Amino acid sequence: MANPPKSGNFDKKPPMNVEEYDTFIRLFCGAYEEMFKLTHCYLRAILPRQAKILVVGAGTGMEILEFAPLNPGWSFIGVDPSADMLAFARKKFSEKNLAGEIELKKGYVDDLKEEEVFDAATCILVMHFLRDDGSKLELLERISKHMKPGAPFILIDGFGEPASKDFEEISVAWKNYPIISGVPGETVEQIFKEVIMKTVQFVPESRIMELLETAGFIRVSKYFSGFLYGSWIGYKK
């Protein structure tokens, strides 16, 4: 889930019902499960058997559910502003009998202890909910502050230029993803209009690269793209 500005009570006014989120995201985010699998593959190629990972926007627990079972030496701290989301994640972890060190904290990155540093961090489907008014950069800088030099950082985010022809064409293709899965076209159009296009703050890929560089990440490269979502890996300078 998102790591929105600190205002209001997130649980009283969430973007959607917690129980509906897992179904919704799989219908409206193309290759949702694959992006986590590919990220898992990348982190396994880089990280040692013992590693401490920060999960920003832990939500319903997808990162940890994907990473933890095959990497018993990895430990996780997940932060998210929604207590309901985290409770749902804990229920999943219990059902899967996940072992290892997993800690979920209600809050934000800057609620972490100053001395806490990590061997890797992920920020998946989070930053695009923030406006590019300094909020995106602030989030990246806060994450960077808690990472060891050389540590890998995974960012998966919406990107694109809404006024461009490419954006328009890709949006049409994207809408077909839930439609071919059985969601009525009228429902898809309504969700795109009332939810996705109002909540996702798209910026061009060049801007994402600039934000990452400014926040202190180097050797940034894209390893996956699906419709208007991209996956990048960079390393803490």
Q: What percent of the chain has pLDDT over 70?
A: 93
54-89 residue pLDDT tens: 999 999 999 999 999 999 999 999 999 999 999 999
Global pTM reads 0.93
Burial label for 69, CB within 10 Å (0-12, 13-18, 19+), is middle
In a domain, 166, yes or no: no
Rg (CA), the chain: 17
Residue 97, phi-psi category: left (phi > 0), alpha (psi -120 to 50), beta (remainder): left
155 φ/ψ sector (left φ>0, alpha ψ -120 to 50, else beta)? beta
Min mean pLDDT across 6-10, 20-24, 35-39, 200-204 is at 6-10
Q: Residue 125's domain spans which residues?
A: 18-161+201-236
Q: Are strands 120-124 and 51-56 parallel, antiparallel or unpaired?
A: parallel
Q: Evaluate whether residue 231 is within a structural domain.
A: yes
Quickly state the pLDDT bin for 7 (edges 50, 70, 90). Answer: very low
| 190 located within any domain | no
Instruction: Confirm whether 66 is domain-assigned.
Output: yes
**CA–CA separation, 21 vs 7, rounded Å?**
21
Residue 182 has pLDDT above 50, yes or no: yes
The answer to whether residue 7 is domain-embedded is no
What residue ranges in 72-138 does DSSP mark as E strands? 74-80, 102-106, 120-124
E strand spans, the chain: 51-56, 74-80, 102-106, 120-124, 152-158, 217-226, 229-236
Q: What is the pLDDT of residue 56?
A: 98
Q: What is the pLDDT of residue 14?
A: 53
Q: In this structure, is residue 56 part of a structural domain?
A: yes
pLDDT digits (tens, 9 = 90+) for 52-62: 999 999 999 99
Average pLDDT over residues 94-100: 89
CATH code of residue 231: 3.40.50.150
Q: State how far the Cα of 75 lies from the Cα of 55, in Å rounded to an integer.
A: 10
Taking residues 44-59, report their average pLDDT. Answer: 97
Q: Please, are residues 153 and 144 in contact by the beta-carbon 8 Å criterion?
A: yes
User: What pLDDT sits at residue 20?
Assistant: 86
Token pair 């749902």 in the structure block, residue: 88
By the 8 A CB rule, do 154 and 231 touch?
A: yes
- 5 pLDDT band, cuts 50/70/90, is very low
Whether 82 is covered by a domain: the verdict is yes
More confident residue, 17 or 92: 92
Report if residue 119 sits inside a domain.
yes
140-165: pLDDT as tens digits: 999 999 999 999 999 999 999 999 99
Domain count for the chain: 1
